[in-house]
Structures are given as structure tokens and as C-alpha cells.
Amino acid sequence: MKWEPIDSSGSCNIDRAKVPGGWLVRMISRGHNGESGLAFVPDPQHTWDGKSVNG
């Protein structure tokens, strides 16, 4: 799986990976608390640019 960074200026690193039917998006905290998250963004044609889903 190839992770692509998404521009984020907050306190975490955000990456996305192309998967069938959309994207996996992961968030990893830059701090020492070790918080992380994973989400699926449906986008069958993979047109999402990694920014707003509305524009």
C-alpha cells in the first residue's frame, strides 16, 4: 500500500492510500500521546484531491 501525505498544518500527520472504492485516510499525532485514527472515504473514481470534499 502506498501512502500519500495530505497537507496538514495541525498537530498530526495525515496520509491517504488508494484502495478499491475510495481512499484509506490515516492520522497520526505528532505529539507524545500516540493518538491515531483511520477512516475510509468513498470515491470509486479516485477524483478526491485530498482537500475539501466540496471543492
Kindly list the averaged pLDDT for each block of 10 residues, start to end, along the chain of length 55.
87 93 93 87 93 65
Q: Is residue 20 part of a domain?
A: yes
Distance of CA 10 to the CA centre of its chain: 13
Domain residue limits at 38 = 3-42
State the total domains in the chain: 1
Model-level pTM? 0.81
Q: Is residue 53 part of a domain?
A: no
- C-alpha grid cell for residue 34? 500516540
Q: Is residue 38 part of a domain?
A: yes
- C-alpha pair distances (Å), 10 with each of 19, 20, 40: 25, 28, 20
Confidence at residue 51, expressed as pLDDT on a 0 to 100 scale: 81
Q: Is residue 31 part of a domain?
A: yes
CA nearest to 41, candidates 13, 19, 10, 8: 19
Q: Is residue 49 part of a domain?
A: no
- Work out the end-to-end distance of the chain between its first and last CA atoms, rounded to an integer number of angstroms: 26
